[in-house]
Amino acid sequence: MSGYLAENLKRIRPYVPGEQPRDGGYIKLNTNENPYFPSRYAVSKITDRVLDETRLYSDPTSTELREAIAARYKIGRENVAVGNGSDEILAFAFRAFSEKGVCFPDITYGFYKVFAALFGAEAEEIPLNGDFTVDKKKYFGRGKLVVLANPNAQTGIYLPLPEVEEIVKNNRGNVVLIDEAYTDFGGESAAGLIGRYENLMVVQTFSKSRSLAGARIGFAMADPKLIADLELVKNSFNPYNVNRLSAILAKAAIEDESYFADSVEKIKRTRDESAAALKETGFEVLPSSANFLMIRHPDVGGRELYEKLKERGVLVRHFGDERIREYIRVSIGTPENMRIFTEKVKEIVDGKKG
């Protein structure tokens, strides 16, 4: 840290992403990426002509991509904003709507706390129930930005849509942001409620269910006035936030519905099979509607599991937060990835017994 850094940034603890090893020698189950190739139809759109056009700035309105997203969700393009990953959309939303503070669960996506700190918003962490479910009543009438990941990050637990709607209804004076990074793997999107609630913002990403984490495309769906607020922040920061290649990939990927449906189905099936196998090995498995499993074993701690798996060439995620310290989070890979993972954890658990 230099002596030049702004005083109010000196105590920020930035988000720490999962490891991205360069050598490719690991089975990588740590950042909830999709194990399957992106849509071939989407990739085929990156032609020589498209590459030539990278000389030119991208479309600052991202109109074609927004239209494709709007068509998929049966809303208008004025209901859609796109960003450089949903992280950027979240950053814009925190900047725009957290003046009176922000609240979110104590166990959730770690970036919320960081955005609050970066933008000087007071953050309130609302404890999840003992079984890691959300108590909807704790979110009623907050008078500040409400942020809920649904399914929730780290736990994978889904809050049924009628309860999400009640939270939105009971917060008319502030924005309720539903982060649906994982919803395609099991939840019902709140996108269908747009048009009925002018305080609802739904955020999704191409990083998980559409295999495009490296292309960095996320989007918000909301009332046109909320979208205009996000645009105001974007145009005060980086008008060309979405690059040409990623916009083309994402537009074609969202049009390739059958490929998307097929890859999501495969991941859901593998998730359910892996959960069953892990339970047989004595693991407690939180009920997941996402592309990851949060698991805990009575005989081996979370940190130890993470380290021993890493020694055996499998990367998973371990979080230091007190309530989930004994768990590891495992992203769903291919059936072969998961077979190796299950074999390695069994070896670790059996070694502990012997």
Which residues of the chain form contacts with ligand PMP (CB under 6 A)?
85-87, 109, 149, 153, 179, 181, 205, 207, 213, 218
Query: What backbone phi and psi angles, to 5 degrees, belong to 217?
Result: -130, 125
State how far the Cα of 313 lies from the Cα of 26, in Å rounded to an integer: 5
Minimum Å distance from CB 323 to ligand PMP? 17
Q: Which is nearer to ligand PMP, 98 or 205 (CB)?
A: 205
Give the CB-nearest residue to ligand PMP: 85
State how far the Cα of 25 lies from the Cα of 318, in Å rounded to an integer: 19
Minimum Å distance from CB 153 to ligand PMP? 4
Which amino acid would we find at residue 7? E
Minimum Å distance from CB 82 to ligand PMP? 11
Q: Which is nearer to ligand PMP, 86 or 270 (CB)?
A: 86
State how far the Cα of 310 lies from the Cα of 318, in Å rounded to an integer: 11
Query: What backbone phi and psi angles, to 5 degrees, belong to 125?
Result: -100, 120
State how far the Cα of 157 lies from the Cα of 307, in Å rounded to an integer: 25
Alpha-carbon distance values, 70 to 40, 74, 199, 221 (Å): 22, 6, 19, 8
Q: Which is nearer to ligand PMP, 87 or 163 (CB)?
A: 87
Pairing mode, if any, of strands 102-105 and 292-296? unpaired
Q: Which is nearer to ligand PMP, 98 or 342 (CB)?
A: 98
Minimum Å distance from CB 189 to ligand PMP? 14
Minimum Å distance from CB 179 to ligand PMP? 5
Q: Which is nearer to ligand PMP, 205 or 342 (CB)?
A: 205
Place of tokens 């960081």: 114
